[in-house]
Amino acid sequence: MADASLTWLGHASFRLDTPGGKRVYVDPWFDNPKCPDSEKDPDRCDVIAVTHGHSDHTGSTVELTKKLGPVPIVALVELKGWLKGQGAQTDDMPGPNKGGTVEAEGIKFTLTNAFHSSAADDGTYLGEATGIVVELENGTKIYFAGDTCVFGDMQLIGRIYSPDVAVLPIGGHFTMDPREAGVALELLGTKRCIPYHYGTFPLLAGTPAALREQAPGVEVIELQPGETTTV
Ligand SMILES: [Zn+2]
């Protein structure tokens, strides 16, 4: 089986091309200021995973499913229901909640805890924010922390899922910064990290260089928007 390819689309958006040939989008927001033009109008999408209800994460989900759908959506039960109410073309399976694992297109998704808020722009309650552990067809596990501060139970995520790669926010202000992300990596025990949720706006000031200082022994993979790495 081929390796998986993970492409950063700026901010919190990723395109994940799996060893089984599936294309997964995580928090697709193609209107983010760093998203490369070449990525803004995808011609295929097999699964969309969304960590929480803020519009910089739900982003382009509804329009993507309208264009290419129906597309399976993995998101917390309240959030998935709301996305359907917004016109998303998806399956009838209710969204999971934290601790549950669901399978879509042969890929396993587990929602984890995250400490953050989650509401639509108009204040509609969309459940709680989550992280997502994705287990690919070849057993590779990627932990997308979503928007969160560091928390002690990241240790449990490390113990139960042993992620091969941790995708962590480092921008600060709305999420953890490099100092907290360094502790997160310690708690997770993960030796490879892809930082994200930084550099989109001046407010998100954390940098991969600052994370490296906080996380000795961890390979920090610094991607430019549009750049792909193998996981
Ligand atoms: Zn965010």
Question: Domain of 55: which CATH number?
Answer: 3.60.15.10
Residues 6+ apart with CB under 8 A from 99: 110, 111, 112
**Predicted pLDDT of residue 205:** 96
pLDDT at 52 over 80: yes
Q: How confident is the model at residue 48 (pLDDT cuts 50, 70, 90)?
A: very high
- Domain containing 28 equals 5-155
d(CA 56, ligand 1 centre) in Å:
6
Average pLDDT over residues 94-123: 97
d(CA 13, ligand 1 centre) in Å:
10
| The Cα angle at residue 7 between residues 77 and 31, in degrees rounded to 5 | 65
d(CA 193, ligand 1 centre) in Å:
18
**Predicted pLDDT of residue 41:** 96
Examine residue 142 and state whether it is found in any structural domain, yes or no: yes
Residues 6+ apart with CB under 8 A from 162: 141, 189
d(CA 228, ligand 1 centre) in Å:
21
Q: Number of structural domains, the chain?
A: 1
Average pLDDT over residues 119-143: 97
d(CA 230, ligand 1 centre) in Å:
24
Find tokens 């204040």 and name the residue.
Answer: 123
d(CA 1, ligand 1 centre) in Å:
33
Instruction: State if pTM tops 0.95.
Output: yes
Examine residue 40 and state whether it is found in any structural domain, yes or no: yes
Examine residue 169 and state whether it is found in any structural domain, yes or no: no
**Residue among 71, 74, 9, 80 nearest 44 (CA):** 71
Q: How confident is the model at residue 1 (pLDDT cuts 50, 70, 90)?
A: confident
**Predicted pLDDT of residue 7:** 98
The chain-wide mean pLDDT, for the chain, equals: 97
d(CA 44, ligand 1 centre) in Å:
24
d(CA 54, ligand 1 centre) in Å:
7
CA atoms within 13 A on the CB side of 26: 29
**Predicted pLDDT of residue 69:** 85
